[in-house]
Structure 1
């Protein structure tokens, strides 16, 4: 009875997915398109259309969620959103002495909070881990310390 309205709603919902991506509206749009097609084919009463939409929306959202969990997104850069983890392994210089286990280090053109063993200003340390926004550092032996011209 309201098949065309369901089809239009389905197209609007799938189009809205392009404007506000989140991989959710597409499943509701698919359910509305399915409801519209069945309504046009069989002439269902309005209450049956709503029931069919509810069931098909549940099934499509559930199926979409299962599909998304089975096929995880693989990135070329797995640390893209983990800024501190990207610094692990870098050699940095102490700019505020590490005293009592805390101090500050220079990383490129920024200064970061650091935790680690006692170290004087100007000492080279290596980032070995990250705890939140604080870098965990360890001293670098003098024979492997980088030169200042290496961009650190």
Structure 2
């Protein structure tokens, strides 16, 4: 019988394999220095409103480093092994599985997390809160309206005057 309580009903664990769940527990206990640094920054530097991350979450046969379930966003901290072809193929397969499950995956190297933590957190924040597109033409009469006014004031190339 599965354990009772909110953790037993966590949507991220639905469909997670036993192996992935066990690995997630182990990885939570043994985070790397870059993972620990990013976890502290996610908890400290991101505004609390709408930025709840979980760490080392089992999703299907995989373990995601950090997951925001509400935004369906996964943040991965990649070590040096991710530069090799075999690992890159595994990452592609894994990313395809996670995308099919409705997640967007952001990847950062250990180096980026250790050397530019603030930039990494800013990128994550931007993914959580995308800016709306700028309207075109602009509401103050710029953009297309301004371009058409200036082109009507210039002589045409054929020599005809409008």
**TM-score interval for Structure 1 and Structure 2 normalised by the shorter chain:** under 0.3
TM-score, normalization: structure 2? 0.23
In terms of fraction of residues, the more strand-rich structure is 1
The structure with the largest alpha-carbon Rg is 1
